[in-house]
Amino acid sequence: MIITDAAADVIREALQRTSVPKPVVYLIEATPDRDMPPEFADAVRHGASAESIREGLSRAKHLPRFLFPAIYHRTLFRWLFAKKIGEFLFFCPPGLRGEMKRGTLDVAQRGLVLRDTTGAVVRPRPGGL
């Protein structure tokens, strides 16, 4: 994976904001809290069943997703899925490994974006949750 200077700056900033020792970067797709319907947050807070939470998520499929660098302690992941790219250690699960291997990580309007060799956006995946 090629990491642009701007994307590297975003990851460095995320690493500086945390005190996690031996960090690993996990590129996650998420919808910001402020975009989630308030009734979904209430259901989670009040201990709703997994089925009703899944139902709430299915209603939120239209919400846009963004790619963020999440920072975790490296012992949380198997070394098999860790990959050093440039100065960063990434968690690369099987579904993301191929995209990262051939992709370019860059900064988008809100968060990061992973592009394939043709320049098409592969992460965040289009189409919401």
Q: pLDDT, tens digit, for every residue of 57-102?
A: 666 666 777 888 999 998 887 777 888 898 999 998 888 888 888 8
Phi, psi of 29 (to 5 degrees): -100, 130
Residue 1 has pLDDT above 70, yes or no: yes
Domain ranges of the chain: 2-33+63-123
Tens-digit pLDDT profile for residues 28-47: 887 766 556 667 667 777 77
Taking the domain 2-33+63-123, which CATH number applies?
Answer: 2.60.300
The tokens for 18 are 């945390």
* CA-closest candidate to residue 112, choices 123, 120, 101: 123
Do residues 54 and 44 make contact, with C-beta atoms less than 8 angstroms apart? no
Q: What pLDDT does residue 61 have? A: 66
Handedness of CA 129, 29, 83, 1 (dihedral sign): positive
Backbone torsion region of residue 86, taken as left when φ is above 0, otherwise alpha when ψ lies between -120 and 50, otherwise beta: left
23-30 and 66-73 as β-strands: parallel, antiparallel, unpaired? antiparallel
The tokens for 41 are 């947050």
